[in-house]
Structure 1
């Protein structure tokens, strides 16, 4: 009778060890997010996503004379540069590398939200809403109102992608600082989408078809 009881105890211990290993993989030490966590993936991907928005905003700021477009570009540069610094700071605080071999948006696919169709990687490995290399080249080449219109169209779509990604994080995380940031992104970028849509109308143009579902 003792041997079956001993075997059961060994099995139970093995299960506990495996569970502990899984928890460590996801959350890391001291309750901090691990390398494959949604929080780490969100921070890495959103840092890259923000970097493109900042780059596009510098491009239009340096070529437009429009006060409202320059003010918008300045706000995006300031806000998203600060937020990007926070994402990188989180990774450092959590003891994680900023660079990773993991594909973009893997954090959503691996945590149960990859098949929703709301935040997937486009052809070329681009995250939701990101501009293609050809679109970035065209933005640099255009001048005047044509450049302003393209910038606003690209940035609206870019913000829609950011809202998707932040919304995905809100479904996967309860970590306060990350959740609070995601909520700020949803609120702030939704407001800027409305502003940019109105700015496009003033220039006789419309946004690209929405990617929001």
Structure 2
């Protein structure tokens, strides 16, 4: 039995991108529905951000000469890919320890949480590059706004330290990135989409 537990812990640590400390804390926590739903829905939210960032990163990587702003966009997209993939690994680890599924059987309206449509995501690979860059920034700003709303809700309603710590990091990182992306849009002579409005009475664990 001890060997089985040790093996499970090793696998979960690998899934969590080596974040064993977060798994230990999650194992010691008693999550509420709010904690579980945050992890499930944020994994879905993060996965689309990683997809969008990867599409623009691959295209910029293929360009031989990049402007300073394009270099920054390449760095930003790579950071989104790596940081949010790592966070998804951590959240998958928590859900496994909590014996909960990786996906929410009753997910919130993810488009209301700033997610792009499948068609908008796919277009990032086919639009002319300059149009794709503008669209990426517009979509990712809206996407981040939704992520911040989800994280702020978790800070109010979640119980576990691992979820609260993750939510705080999401709020800080994505709020900063939103401002940076708005500045990049200005340099492209483009406007952001209208700010995402709060969903009335939004609650994790709905």
Shorter-chain TM-score bucket reads: 0.7 to 0.9
Q: What pairs with 1:145-184 in structure 2 (closer than 5 Å)? A: 145-184=130-169
- TM-score, normalisation: structure 2: 0.75
Of 165, 170, 180, 1:185 maps to 170
Q: What pairs with 1:92-103 in structure 2 (closer than 5 Å)? A: 92-101=96-105, 103=106
- Residue number in structure 2 paired with 1:32: 30
- Residue number in structure 2 paired with 1:47: 43
Rg larger in 1 or in 2? 1
Q: Are 2:102 and 1:104 aligned? A: no
- Given that residues 38 and 154 in structure 2 are in contact (C-alpha distance below 8 angstroms), is that contact kept between their aligned partners in structure 1? yes
Distance 2:53 2:131 in 1: 15
Higher relative contact order (CA 8 A, sep 6+): 2
Pair 1:30–1:179, CA change in 2 (3 A): closer
Residue 31 of structure 1, CA deviation: 5.5
Distance 1:183 1:30 in 2: 20
- Residue number in structure 1 paired with 2:23: none
Deviations 1:24-81 (A, max 9, x none): xxxxx975225xx010001000001000000001100111242111111001001100
- Given that residues 95 and 102 in structure 2 are in contact (C-alpha distance below 8 angstroms), is that contact kept between their aligned partners in structure 1? yes
Choose 126-135 or 47-56, whichever is displaced more.
Answer: 126-135
- Given that residues 104 and 127 in structure 1 are in contact (C-alpha distance below 8 angstroms), is that contact kept between their aligned partners in structure 2? no
Residue 99 of structure 1, CA deviation: 3.2
Q: Are 2:90 and 1:86 aligned? A: yes
Residue 206 of structure 1, CA deviation: 1.2
Residue 143 of structure 1, CA deviation: 2.3
Distance 2:176 2:197 in 1: 15
Consecutive aligned runs of 4 or more in structure 1 exceeding 3 Å deviation: none
Structure 2: which 5+ runs fail to align? Answer: 1-26, 64-69, 199-206
Pair 1:197–1:100, CA change in 2 (3 A): closer
- TM-score, normalisation: structure 1: 0.72
Residue 208 of structure 1, CA deviation: 0.3
- Residue number in structure 2 paired with 1:209: 194
SS at structure 1 position matched to 2:144:
helix
SS at structure 2 position matched to 1:129:
coil
Aligned length: 164
- Given that residues 139 and 147 in structure 1 are in contact (C-alpha distance below 8 angstroms), is that contact kept between their aligned partners in structure 2? yes
Choose 62-71 or 156-165, whichever is displaced more.
Answer: 62-71
